Structure 1
Amino acid sequence: MGAFLGRRDGYWCYVRRVPSEITELDGRGIIKLSTRIRIADDPRAIRARKVVARLNAETETYWRDLRSAETANVSERYRAACRRARALGFDYAPAAEVAERDLDEIASRLAAAVRAGQSDGVTRPAVLGAVPKPTFRVSTLLEAFEDVMRPSLASMSEDQRRKWRNPKRRAIANLLTVIGDKDLLEITRGDALDFRAWWADRVLVEEVQIATANKDIGHLNKMLRTLDQQHRLGLDPVFAQLRMEGEEARSRSAFEPDFVAARLLAPNALDGLNDEARAIIYLMAETGLRVSEATSLTSETIKLNHEVPHVQIRGIGRKLKTPQSERDIPLVGVALSAMQRHPSGFPRYLDNAASLSALVNKALETRDLRPTKNHTLYSLRHTFEDRLGAASIPEKIVAALMGHKYYRPKYGSGPSLTMKRDALEKIAFQVELV
C-alpha cells in the first residue's frame, strides 16, 4: 500500500488516481482520503498503512459495483431492443450490419422507425441497430452468467446456489491470475492456451488432479458460450476442445458392510459427535440417502405415524438432483430408531450439508474409521447400493430406493412402500442404538 500512501496537512492520506477504464464512471481524477492519523503520531505509517489498505479495498469494491451497474443497464437496454425488434418481425442487428442487408429489409426497418415517431425511444434504435451490445469483463463474468441462469437457479436453495457458484468463482479467479481482467471480447485463443499451460504446470509441479484443471476449463467454456448466445457478442470459442488428456476417473469407495456394522455402528464409536450428526449417519446407513437429502428432512417430510414409517424426498425449498430423486424411503433398523429421536429433522444442518460432511469426515478420520482417503460420509450411499445388489433386490426396487432412473418402460406407480420396506428389512443392520 506504499504506492497509495501520501501526506497532507500533517496527516497520512490515501492517494490514488482513478484508472483510465473507470474514468467515465468515476470523475474524481485523483482520490485523496485522510486516514485521520497524524504523521507525528505514526511516523513510520504502520497504522496508516492498514487504514490505506482498507480504503483501497473499499474503493476497488466501489469501482467494481460501478462497472456491474453500468453493465446491467447496458444489458437491459440491449435485451429490450432485441425484444422490440422481434416483436416487429426483425432480428436485432447492429447498425453497420443493418446497412449491409438487402434494400427491402432496410426500407421495412426505416418504415417501422418512421411509424414509431420521435417520441418512441425504444423502437427506432431497436430496428435501426443503434443500441450497443453490452460489454463484460472477466471480473463480472459470474454475475452476468448468473443473471442469464436465473430461471434454472430459482428452485435452488441458498446452499445449492453457493455450491453452484463456488467452482465457477474459482475458475474465474484462476483465469484472472493468468490473463488479468480483460474484456471478454479481448480474450484470445492464446490466452486460453496460456491458461491450459498454467494448469499443466500445476499438475506436474503441485500434483493437482487433471480433472480439476478440466473442470475450470469446462466452466469457463460454458459461461462464455452461454453469454455469447444470450447477448450475441460474437465471441470466439477460445476454450473449446482444450480439455487435458489423461484424466483418471476416481473409482467410488464403499465401506464394507461388516465394517459398518462392527465399527461405525458399534457402541460409543461416534461418541463426541452431536446427536443430529450421529442420527444422520445411522439414517444414511439404512437408506442410502444423499447427504443433502438427509439434511433437508423436516417434520413435513418425516412420516413416523404411517403404517410404513418413511421419509419423503421432495424439492421443497431446494432443487432435487434429478426428477427420479423424488421418492419415499421406508425406515427400518437403526434409521427408524434415529428418526424416532429426531421426528422434526435436523435443524442444525438444514440446507447446510457441507458443514455436516466436513464435521463427520473429520470425526471418522480422527477415530480411524476411514479405511482410505476416498472413504467419506457419502460412501455410505455406495455401501447401501452394494448391499441391495448382494441381496438380489430387483433392479426396479433398487432404482426406486436410490432415486435412479429405471431404464425400462414404466408401468403402474412403481414399487409400493411395503415392497420397499420388505427389501430394506432383508439388509437391515442387526444392531441396536444405545
Structure 2
Amino acid sequence: MRPIKPTRKAGLWTLTRFVPKGFRHVEARKVVRVSTGIRVADDPAGIRAHEAVQALNSQLEAYWRGLDAGQPVAPVSATTARAYVEQMRSRHLPAGGLDGNAVEEIARRVAALMRAGEAANPTLTLKAQPTPKSAPTAAKRSGVASSTKIALSTLLDEYEASQKVQLAKYSPDQLRRWRNGRIRAVANLKQVLGGDRYIEDISRDDALNFRDWWQDRIVAGGVKIDSANKEIGIISRMVHVLNRSKRLGLELVFKELCIEGGGYEQRAAYAVDFVQNNILADGALDGLNDEARGVVYVCAETGMRPVEIVNLTRRTIRLDCDVPHILVKPEGRVLKTDYSDRHFPLVGVALKVMSRNPNGFPSYFDKSPVLSATVNKYLSAHKLRPTSKHSLYSLRHTFEDRLTAVEPPEKIQAYLMGHKYDRPKYGSPPSLEQLKGWLDKIAFRAPTSFEP
C-alpha cells in the first residue's frame, strides 16, 4: 500500500483515503476525508500533519475492521483529530533514530487519540447492522446518544424532517423558497470544503474558511454582507437544531461567525407626486396584463405587501358591507409577522380594482416573485424606476410617507402597515371606520381611463 500522506484541503492538512475494496460492503463512502485541524500555514512542511494523519489512518482502519467483524468502534472524526493535535503540543519526534522514550511517546499519543474518540463517540449504530432492541447499547444505558452520521448532502432532508410542524403551514411557493435558500447555502459550503462532508467532521477552521470565502466575495464586489451572514446563519441554525434534536454533542463551529459591517438597506420610496402623475397616469401601465396592473394600483393605494395582495381570495375580499375591506389572513401560508394579520378598508383606486377582481388575482396566487419580476421589468422598460433602488415594493414605503404626512395615531399607522405597535396589546384593533377615515385623507386620484 502506498504511504499515507497528508493532503491540502481548504487551507488545512487532511487525511484522504479511498475506501479499500475489502471494506466497501460496510462503508458507504467512496472517499473518506478527515481534517487534522492543522493549518497549512502553521505547518508548511506537513511535519506535524504527517504524524497526525498516520494516527487518524490507524483509527480509520480499526474502525473499518470493527465494522467488518460486527464489533463497531468509535469512528474517526474531527473531534478525535482535534484531541490528537492537542496531544502533539510537545516537541516534534524525528522519523529516524527513535529511542525507547520516543516510541513510548508516540504510543501515548495514539492511545490518547483513541480514548478521545471513544469518549466523543461511545458507540456506533449502523443502518446496515442495527442493534437488536433486546440489547440496549452502552450509550442508552449511560444516557449518551450514539453517533449519527449526517452528511451535507442529506443535511437539508434531516433538517426539514425536524421542522415538519412549522413547514406544514407553508404554501408551496413559501416552501420552495425556503428550500432553495438552504440548498444554495449547503452547496456553497460543499464548494469551500471541496466536496461532501459529515457535519461531525467539520472543524472550526472549516467554518472560518467558509466565512473567509464569503469575505473575499464581498471585497470583490457583487455580494452584500447581509447575504453572506444570512447563509452562514442558515448553516449554523441547521447544525444547531440537529445537534440538539439528535443529541450529537457537537461543537457548534458555525456560531459567532457574523461578518461585521452589514445592515438593513432600505428601499427608496417613490415621491407621492411621481406615483400620482406617472405610475397612475392614464395609459402608463397599459402594457401590463390586467391582474398585474391591478396589483400595482392596490399596492400604490394601500401600501400592502405584494405577497399579501396576490394571495387574496373570495373569502378575504369583503365588498358587500358598509365598509368594503380585505382581510390579511394566514390562509394556507405563513404571514411575514403576527402583526401582518389585519383588516384593511378599501378606498380610492384600490376599491375599484377589487370590485373588478372579487376573486383576487388567480394568475399570481402564491406566485409573488413572478408578479414582482413582471412588474419591475415593465417599470424599468418604461422609465418608471427613478433609480435602481426603486421597485414595486417602494410603493409600500411611499404609503408610509403619505400616512406620516397626515399624522395619524401611532397605533393606527402601525396597524395599517402591519408592523409591531410598541405598547402593551390592550383592547380591540382599530375599527374599519377609524381606518377608512385616515385612508380617505391620503387617497390617490384613480386614472380616468380605469373602469371598475
TM-score, normalised to structure 1's length? 0.71
Secondary structure of residue in 1 paired with 2:343: strand
Please tell me whether the aligned partners of residues 18 and 26 of structure 1 are also in contact (alpha carbons under 8 angstroms). Answer: no
Secondary structure of residue in 2 paired with 1:221: helix
| Cα 1:207/1:128, change in 2 over 3 Å | same
Q: 1:131 deviation in Å? A: 7.4
Secondary structure of residue in 2 paired with 1:343: coil
CA distance in 2, matches of 1:433, 1:393: 29
Please tell me whether the aligned partners of residues 334 and 433 of structure 1 are also in contact (alpha carbons under 8 angstroms). Answer: no
Secondary structure of residue in 1 paired with 2:136: helix
Q: Report what 1:382 is aligned to.
A: 397
Secondary structure of residue in 1 paired with 2:344: strand
Match of 1:279 among 253, 275, 294: 294
Deviations 1:111-154 (A, max 9, x none): xxxxxxxxx92683484369743210111111111111111111
Q: Report what 2:179 is aligned to.
A: 165
CA distance in 2, matches of 1:382, 1:22: 60
Deviations 1:12-37 (A, max 9, x none): xxxxx99979754889xxxxxxxxxx
Q: Which runs of 5+ in 1 are unaligned?
A: 1-16, 28-95, 101-119
Code of the residue aligned with 2:133 in structure 1: it is G
Q: How does 1:305-384 map to 2 (within 5 A)?
A: 305-384=320-399
Please tell me whether the aligned partners of residues 19 and 27 of structure 2 are also in contact (alpha carbons under 8 angstroms). Answer: no
CA distance in 1, matches of 2:211, 2:188: 11
CA distance in 1, matches of 2:274, 2:387: 13
| Cα 1:279/1:433, change in 2 over 3 Å | farther
| Cα 1:299/1:194, change in 2 over 3 Å | same
CA distance in 2, matches of 1:215, 1:131: 30
Secondary structure of residue in 2 paired with 1:124: coil
| Cα 1:99/1:208, change in 2 over 3 Å | closer
| Cα 1:98/1:219, change in 2 over 3 Å | closer
CA distance in 1, matches of 2:345, 2:120: 64
Q: 1:347 deviation in Å? A: 0.5
User: How many pairs does the alignment contain?
Assistant: 334
Confirm or deny that 1:299 pairs with 2:311.
Answer: no
CA distance in 2, matches of 1:235, 1:99: 10
Q: Report what 1:420 is aligned to.
A: 435
Higher helix share: 1
CA distance in 1, matches of 2:211, 2:403: 43
Match of 2:239 among 211, 214, 224: 224
Sequence identity, in percent?
A: 48
Please tell me whether the aligned partners of residues 280 and 295 of structure 1 are also in contact (alpha carbons under 8 angstroms). Answer: yes
Deviations 1:254-304 (A, max 9, x none): 111111000111111112111000001111111111111101101111011
Q: Report what 1:121 is aligned to.
A: 133
TM-score, normalised to structure 2's length? 0.69
Structure 1 runs (4+) deviating above 4 angstroms are 17-27, 96-100
Code of the residue aligned with 1:273 in structure 2: it is L
Match of 2:217 among 180, 184, 202: 202
Q: CA RMSD in A?
A: 2.8
CA distance in 2, matches of 1:22, 1:366: 59
CA distance in 2, matches of 1:432, 1:421: 21
| Cα 1:98/1:235, change in 2 over 3 Å | closer
Code of the residue aligned with 1:375 in structure 2: it is H
| Cα 1:131/1:419, change in 2 over 3 Å | closer
Please tell me whether the aligned partners of residues 98 and 128 of structure 1 are also in contact (alpha carbons under 8 angstroms). Answer: no
